[in-house]
């Protein structure tokens, strides 16, 4: 590819890369958090451990409840398509970006060539983004306000967004696609 990144637009776009966006990972046991009190500007919560699929001790359902989740603040890439960004004011889909240097050396070239469907390779960008990859296994839905509070680093150029979309489709469907974007 000739270029890879472009300057960010004033409006959020698919392919924008942001710093310090929260990525959630729900691990067992699921714990529902319920507000118990508020003292001196501190909220107090009690955690109730789920011991069956839907119901906690005491008989309440976990649907619509706040739950405890592992949260990692890291770089992320916006996967929500532009037309959805324009239509939906509440949800943005982001994928975790991981540094390539933390991958075993023998696996790095596979990622660079996008031969592992669960990942999409990202070239180094100036001094703010090391050589990295998008991890499609780690998707989070976040409120747009969280993205607006984060710094947008850069955005993928048009051809690279098409490559990202194709790799994501390969990951989800396991289909073999032609590289029409080349």
Pull the structure tokens for residue 106. 């023998």
Q: Does domain 5-25+72-173 have CATH number 3.30.1370.10?
A: no
Helix (H) or strand (E) holding 173: helix 158-173
**Burial class of 31 by CB neighbour count within 10 A (0 to 12, 13 to 18, 19+):** buried
Query: What's the pLDDT tens digit per position in 107-147?
Result: 999 999 999 999 999 999 999 999 999 999 999 999 999 99
Q: Where are the domains of the chain?
A: 5-25+72-173, 28-68
CB–CB of 129/17 below 8 Å? yes
pTM for this predicted structure:
0.86
Read off the pLDDT of residues 36-64 as tens digits, 9 standing for 90 and up.
888 777 888 888 887 665 555 555 567 78
Task: Let me know if 157 is exposed, middle or buried by CB neighbors in 10 A (0-12, 13-18, 19+).
Answer: middle
């Amino acid at each position: 590819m000739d270029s890879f990144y472009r300057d960010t637009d004033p409006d959020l776009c698919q392919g924008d890369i942001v710093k310090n966006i929260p990525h959630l990972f729900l691990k067992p046991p699921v714990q529902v958090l319920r507000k118990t009190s508020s003292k001196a500007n501190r909220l107090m919560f009690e955690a109730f451990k789920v011991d069956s699929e839907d119901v906690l001790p005491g008989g309440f359902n976990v649907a619509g409840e706040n739950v405890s989740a592992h949260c990692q603040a890291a770089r992320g890439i916006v996967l929500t398509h532009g037309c959805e960004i324009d239509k939906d004011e509440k949800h943005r889909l982001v994928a975790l970006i991981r540094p390539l240097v933390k991958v075993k050396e023998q696996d790095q070239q596979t990622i660079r060539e996008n031969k592992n469907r669960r990942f999409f390779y990202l070239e180094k960008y100036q001094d703010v983004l090391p050589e990295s990859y998008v991890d499609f296994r780690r998707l989070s839905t976040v409120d747009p306000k969280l993205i607006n509070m984060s710094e947008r680093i850069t955005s993928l150029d048009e051809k690279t967004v098409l490559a990202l979309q194709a790799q994501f489709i390969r990951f989800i469907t396991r289909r073999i696609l032609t590289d029409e974007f080349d």
